[in-house]
Each structure stands twice: as structure tokens, then as C-alpha cells.
Structure 1
């Protein structure tokens, strides 16, 4: 089975007159880190809550591990770890004791608590009271809770929201480690595009309850990588007037031109043209990243 999550034509609203999710379809491959990206209010959290059964999927549009949710849960919770909204802890207890409470409720051995604390690099802080944990440490402990029982799938809603840059890096490195070393498939929602871009392999972009793109980073790159190109060229201002207007040339700085192209052939033709007129080119690079693509895809 190559698909861990499959959603087909999911439409949902709390009232008949206003749909929050509009005909959503996406597929999460096994072994991927799948980014579910959109602005606040786009429909990410609603989708996440439906995935874990907090909101009923009455039309059976969602399958996890090739089963409809009504068939998959409650036994399926042993295969899924989830963190939706903000995790809560007993502040007067240590990190170890908080984990122990959850593991005993699930009839898991204490060795599971030790295993996950090592995974999230909190073993040395296990006896510290929760009220002394930093926000990043609390988030890592929350992820540790989701890892109890060795789930095959993690569903994480905005796990880096509110963290400082160091905390974001810690969570990102942890998720990449879990994916590569433990083989965990991760479905992660976020509106922090620059951060999530550094870890995801696949993505779906949701805007106003509609999927505007779904696929791999490679697919997205093939569609959008040629939009904006910067050319490092000595004496850029002396050559801007010699570039055809369809490239929309602009001066970026003293030795850099910014152009707009639609294909690799456009780049090739322009470079040939510049070389023929004795331009000294020292660099060509794309300026586009996930944030640029997101804005392009979601704009009305």
C-alpha cells in the first residue's frame, strides 16, 4: 500500500449554507513528510480534526490505511499519533510523570516512555517539572506523547506555531529524524511556509476551503521554477535596454538583472543573446521558493 491517507471529494460545513471544505482531494504517500499548507482559516484544522475522527466523516470521503474512518477507529489509534491544537500537561508533574500517565492509560510499558524521551532528546530533562519547560521543550514532549506505541502515521497541526527560531529548528530536525530513521509518515499543517519548506517532500495548498495544488515538491518545482530568474551580469544597467520586453527585465542591483520567463528555452535563448552582445554572465539562479509559489497559486 503506497497511500497512507486518501481523501476524495470531501465537502464539509457546520451549516448547509456555508461549506468550510469544498470538494477536497489529496493523497499522502507512505514515507512522506506531507505539508498541508494554507493561511489561517483556510480549512486546515477542520480537515485534521476529521482525519482523527473528532468531526464525523459522514460521506466516507476519507480513508486511512485503506479503511474508512468508521472502520479504522478506535483500533486505528494504535497506528496514528496526533497533535491537534495545543497540548496540555500537568504542570506540577515532571515530563516523565506526564508521559507515564498517558502510557498507563494505554497499557504501554515504561520502556516506551524511555524510548520516546530519547527520540525527542528530553531524557536528561525527564525529572524537571513541566512548569520549568520552555515552549520548545513542551512541544517536543507533546510529540513524544504522540510517538508512544510506535505509530506509523503522525498528524500534526501547526507544531511549530509560536516557537522561537531555535525551537522551530529543533522540531524540524526531530520530524526529519523520525521520518528518515523511524520510517514515520508525517502529515503536518502549517502557515509558516519558509520553515516547513525545509522538511516536506509532498504538499497540498488549501485556500478558502479548496485545494489549489497537490503533489510532490518536484511536481511544484517543474510547474513554477522558471517564473523569476536573477542573472548576475557585470554592468547590469548597460544591458537592460538590450533585453526583449517580454522578459520584463528589472535592475535588482548593480550587477544583477531580474527577469520573468515561462520555460527553460526562454532562459537558453536569453543567455545566448546576452553572450552574443558580449555580456559577462557570472550567475543564473531562480528566486522562487515555496512562499512565492504559494502566493502565485492562491491569488484570485
Structure 2
């Protein structure tokens, strides 16, 4: 499949002895929706600004489409759509007129504006003045601007920031549709794990300028699926002594034991053993795992 973005040993500092990025290594597979996750100030925006060349990559650590940025740009901008910070609009003009200005600057035909407005579901609102657009509509129009010219890669910095739950859902459905139907690779940053987790195929977690995890969602689930399993049963103290040390059993209260298991087979064999010893189990649930772990890594 190959990687569209390849970053090797990227370091960056704005002032001496204050590193912003420390030895960043990332591979973004072609066709993926890649989540770049971390708290505010972790280094996400700096990395993304370096990807689009607005902060120079002087060490040549970044390759996009197998080219160093110095040889990729400016021609490479035709293959990349990016949204860093928020897009600027002419509020007194309509959505259509705003798009038309961008497309003319880029020598793109007018039907291209129609195509992207249909993609982001704003065709019906195209003649509405920008000042009447909701935040969600503005974000969708911003995405439409990045889609002009059919880019192969989208680089989006916090596109769900500030959206209400409905706006987040619309954005998620739009990005999944672009990835699935148009084959666009999407590199998207966020500090909202729960929201972004529903659409991404791969991710990296950055904290204080360092990558703490990089891999597929499948890799992540394998790591964190079986932590903090809580078993609800009557008379927990009587049964905790029957649970092997390898499960790291802990009493939470008189009717709850927490364990960590290596696989679902481990959980099944433990439950079977407890039931054969007359344990009255009424609940099994995963009480923490990924969200707690993410908060632990990313909190400043």
C-alpha cells in the first residue's frame, strides 16, 4: 500500500534549549484516516505546519509522496488540501462566491465548485451569505475549499474543534465518505480521542513533543481491550483468593473485583472457573482502558 507521509527523526525548536518536537517518527499509509492525537500544546500544529511547508523542514526529515518537501512544493500543493487553524471567508459574500474566488486563483473550472459543494452537502445553501452560516457549515465549506482540484491527501488541524455533537457527527460522516468514495488519505489532528476514534484507521499520540504510541486502531485495541475488567459478583472477598496473581486481581467493593487479562480467552476461562466454584456473577464490564490511558498520557 505504501506510505503517503513519512517522517524520520524530526526535531524542532523555536528557541534554543526549548524543543517543541523530539525525534518524531511517523508513517501515514496511503488510503488511511490517520489521527494525530494529543493535548493542546503537545506539538500537533507545529508538525502539521511543517508538513505543508509553512515552517521549514531544514533537516529533510519529512517526505510526502516519496519526495522531500523542497522538491515537492510548490507543485505538490495541487495534490494536497490543507486546513490549519480556521479558514478566512468574505462574510458579505455567499458560500458559492467564496469558493469561486479560490477556484479562479487556482485556475480551476467552475464545475469544480459545484462538485465540492455537493460532496460537503452545501449545494442547497450555496447562495446564503457567509455571515448566516453556522459553525458546522463554515467548517464544511472549509473542507470544500481543501477539496478543490481533487487532492490525494488532506491535512486537517482540529476540524471538529468547537462543533456541537451534531456538527461533529456531520464532519465525521463527511471525512469517512471522502476516504471511502474518493480514496482520499486524511491526516487529522485532534485532542478529542472519543470523537476521532470513531473514524480513524491509524493513529499516533503525541505528548510534550514526543510520540507515545503509533499504529493501527487494531494494534491499540489489542493493547488496551482487556485492562480494567470489572466482575460484579456476590461476596467478592470470598472469590478473590481463587483468582491467579497473573490477573492482578483487586477488590473494588464487596461485590466488585477488577482484573487485567491478556485475551478474551483468559477472561472466559476465569469466569468458567469462578462459576464452577459457585460464584454468582451478575456483571462483566470494561471500566476504563483507552480513554483513561489517553488522558494519562496527554494531560499537561
Q: Please report the TM-score for the alignment, with normalisation by the length of structure 1.
A: 0.92
Distance of 1:298 and 1:136 partners within structure 2: 27
Match of 2:252 in 1: 250
Q: Is the 8 A contact 2:120 2:141 kept in 1?
A: yes
Match of 1:34 in 2: 34
CA gap 1:299/1:225 in 2 versus in 1, 3 angstroms: farther
Q: What displacement does 1:278 show? A: 1.8
**1:208-243 deviations in whole A, cap 9, x for unaligned?**
000000000111111121111133x5xx24234311
The 5-angstrom pairing of residues 48-87 of structure 1 reads 48-87=48-87
Unaligned runs of 5+ in 1: none
Distance of 1:106 and 1:299 partners within structure 2: 41
Q: Is the 8 A contact 2:236 2:257 kept in 1?
A: no
Distance of 2:64 and 2:238 partners within structure 1: 57
Unaligned runs of 5+ in 2: none
CA gap 1:226/1:90 in 2 versus in 1, 3 angstroms: same
Q: What displacement does 1:75 show? A: 0.5
Q: Is the 8 A contact 1:250 1:259 kept in 2?
A: yes
Q: What displacement does 1:207 show? A: 0.3
Distance of 2:119 and 2:211 partners within structure 1: 34
Q: Is the 8 A contact 1:249 1:260 kept in 2?
A: no
Match of 2:151 in 1: 151
Match of 2:134 in 1: 134
Q: Secondary structure at the match of 2:55?
A: coil
Match of 2:111 in 1: 111
Q: Is the 8 A contact 1:100 1:113 kept in 2?
A: yes
CA gap 1:288/1:32 in 2 versus in 1, 3 angstroms: farther
Q: What displacement does 1:10 show? A: 0.3
Q: Please report the TM-score for the alignment, with normalisation by the length of structure 2.
A: 0.92
The 5-angstrom pairing of residues 1-300 of structure 1 reads 2-231=2-231, 233=232, 236-244=233-241, 246-251=248-253, 257-264=256-263, 266-281=266-281, 284-288=284-288, 290-298=290-298
Q: Secondary structure at the match of 1:189?
A: strand
Q: Secondary structure at the match of 2:92?
A: coil
**1:85-119 deviations in whole A, cap 9, x for unaligned?**
01110000000000000000000001010000000
Q: What displacement does 1:261 show? A: 0.8
- The alignment yields a C-alpha RMSD, in angstroms, of 1.9
Q: Secondary structure at the match of 2:59?
A: coil
Q: Is the 8 A contact 2:38 2:206 kept in 1?
A: yes
Distance of 1:118 and 1:195 partners within structure 2: 24
Distance of 1:288 and 1:171 partners within structure 2: 27
Q: What displacement does 1:146 show? A: 0.2
Distance of 2:97 and 2:76 partners within structure 1: 25
Distance of 1:206 and 1:102 partners within structure 2: 33
Distance of 1:298 and 1:190 partners within structure 2: 12
Q: Secondary structure at the match of 1:13?
A: strand
Q: Is the 8 A contact 1:225 1:288 kept in 2?
A: no
Q: Is the 8 A contact 2:234 2:281 kept in 1?
A: no
Q: Secondary structure at the match of 1:26?
A: strand
Q: Is the 8 A contact 2:146 2:154 kept in 1?
A: yes
**1:54-106 deviations in whole A, cap 9, x for unaligned?**
00000000000110000111000000000000111000000000000000000
